Copies of this chain bind each other. A is one copy, B any other.
Amino acid sequence: MAVRLVRDCSVLEVPAAGEVTVAEHRDIEIADGQIIAVRATGEPSKGVGDVVDGTGLLAIPGLTNSHTHSPMVMFRGAAEDVSVEDWFNVRIWPMEVNLTPERVRVGARLACAEMLLCGVTGFVDHYFHADQIARAAQELGIRADIAPTYFSSSGAEGRAAAFDAVDAILALNDPRIRASLGPHSTYTVTEKDLRITADHARDLGLKVHLHVAENMDQTRSSVERLGVTPIQVADRTGVLDAGTVIAHGCGITPADIEILAPYADRTGVSSGPKGYLKHALDPVTPVRGLLDAGVTVGAGTDGAASNNTLDVLEAMQYIALATKQQEHDVMALTISDALRIGTRGGATLSGMGSTLGALEPGRRADIVLVDLSGVHCRPVHDPRAALLYSARAISDVHTVIVDGLLVVQDHTLLTYDLQEILSDADAIASELLDLSTGGAIQHYAP
């Protein structure tokens, strides 16, 4: 179902800098999955593909979830009201012993369905059995950049297997599916392995995606053990230079920001404060400082085991509010900043900064039509504020187009049977929480 025209919508215009604006009564013309024109509504031209009626809807650039572990939707709600240490060591890492390729596939399908219905057109993933995630993304018609994850505790074979998984994703040769290198973190992967991974990334022309300075405790612990911060570890191992998606970065210091700045053309940070607040982290990602240094920031939900949703609209709201409070400055993150982070920012972190993230001629047609007519958005004095602070994913996401193809129409997923996805997930939900086998995939002691 290729779309050739979205007719008579409002368009959220997200420039690389400055104020986000809304243009009314626009037609978005699409050919071969690419936006070829955004113009005042006129006579529909002829051509191949569907015309989507955008009347009364706001077209926004497809949102990118710039850091997630998508199959972890299977653990949603299974690790609540616990410390960071217990979250890892008592709940999640023991449960992840139960992962199998089939179970990861089922979880990834559920996650892709949730994301599409939330207006997320692409995600930057970091998990095990990555080939299964890639296949699920293909089945559902969502973009993905997937980093097969490994710990150094799994030895050279673990690292090699993760590299092989990258090759397997590349072999799919699907322009919507990308791969990155996925060492777990600076505290679970040795500097030797980080160096090897950074070199391998450079050889393949791929990015690295890993957890760095997730919280300030990790930064303090790193300085105590090694004399340097996690960002410095990523720097001296060549990870920053290779080009990297840094997940979380709540423990990034002002001096770290100066280290990051020279790599700003290829290295950025994904932030998702909902989960940070939930884990009582203070500070959260220094988003304002990063933006001021020219470092790209994206909105990421992390896995649903900590964030409970894969909702990027919600993540943008939390970024705006947590940053305003942290900086003690209402202007520290404006509506325009937040909307840019969820669109252009995420697109850049997914490696598609020049081809996604804005509704402009020449970019790929990843378009979400949002309905701001709900009672909770009215009256709409400012559609940008309504989008960020009043609208909700699911109920207000009307239509989703990925690479010019219609994947959600009138709140309905077109690409896969949603009921089958849900019942498949329910069928294995309790098996994944079973701790009777014992053991854990890793131990948290950063």
Question: What is the interface of chain A, defined by CB distance below 8 A to chain B?
Answer: 73-78, 80-84, 110, 113-114, 117-118, 274, 276-282, 304, 308-311, 320-322, 324-332, 334-335, 373-382, 385-386, 389-390, 392-395, 418, 421-422, 425-426, 429, 433
A383 to chain B, nearest CB (A): 8
Counting chain B CB atoms within 10 Å of each CB, the highest count among A84, A277, A310, A374 belongs to A277
Shortest distance from the beta carbon of A445 to any chain B beta carbon, whole Å: 18
A379 contacts B277, CB within 8 Å?
Answer: no
Q: In the bound complex, do residue A378 and residue B426 qualify as a contact, i.e. CB atoms below 8 Å apart?
A: yes
User: How far apart sit A279 and B392, CA to CA, in the bound complex (Å)?
Assistant: 21
User: What residues of chain B lie closer than 8 Å to A386, measured between beta carbons?
Assistant: 76-77, 308
B390 & A308 in contact (Cβ 8 Å cutoff): yes
Task: Flag if B381 contacts A277 (CB, 8 Å).
Answer: no
Q: A78-B382, A81-B330, A308-B385 given. 19 additional CB < 8 A pairs?
A: A74-B379, A76-B379, A76-B381, A77-B380, A77-B382, A77-B385, A77-B386, A80-B389, A114-B375, A114-B376, A278-B321, A281-B325, A309-B376, A309-B390, A373-B422, A375-B422, A378-B422, A378-B425, A378-B426
A334: which B residues are within 8 A, CB to CB? 81
- Contact between chains at B114 and A379 (CB < 8 Å): no
* A425 contacts B379, C-beta separation under 8 Å: yes
Closest Cβ–Cβ distance, residue A186 to chain B (whole Å) = 23
Residues of B within 8 A of A80 (CB): 335, 382, 385, 389
A389 in contact with B309 (CB, 8 Å): yes
Instruction: Say how many copies of this protein the assembly contains.
Output: 2
Q: Are B280 and A390 in contact (CB under 8 A)?
A: no
Which 7 interchain pairs have the tightest Cβ spacing? Answer: A308-B389, A379-B429, A77-B385, A395-B395, A277-B321, A77-B382, A77-B381
- Cβ–Cβ < 8 Å partners of A375 in chain B: 110, 113-114, 117, 394, 418, 421-422
Chain B residues closer than 8 Å to A304, beta-carbon distance: 390
Which residues of the partner chain B approach A278 to less than 8 Å between Cβ atoms?
320-321, 324, 330, 389
Smallest CB-CB separation from A107: which chain B residue?
A: B379
Q: Are A394 and B395 in contact (CB under 8 A)?
A: yes
Task: Give min CB distance, A328 to chain B, whole Å.
Answer: 5
Chain B positions within 8 Å of A379 at CB level: 74, 76, 425-426, 429
Nearest CB to that of A373 among chain B residues?
A: B422
Q: Indicate whether A433 sits within 8 Å of B322 (C-beta atoms), given known contacts A329-B280, A335-B80.
A: no
Most chain B beta-carbon contacts within 10 A, residue among A321, A332, A334, A425: A321
How far apart are the CA atoms of A309 and B311 in the complex, in Å? 18
Q: List 11 A-B contacts (CB under 8 A).
A: A78-B381, A80-B385, A80-B389, A84-B330, A277-B325, A279-B330, A280-B325, A282-B326, A373-B422, A375-B394, A379-B425
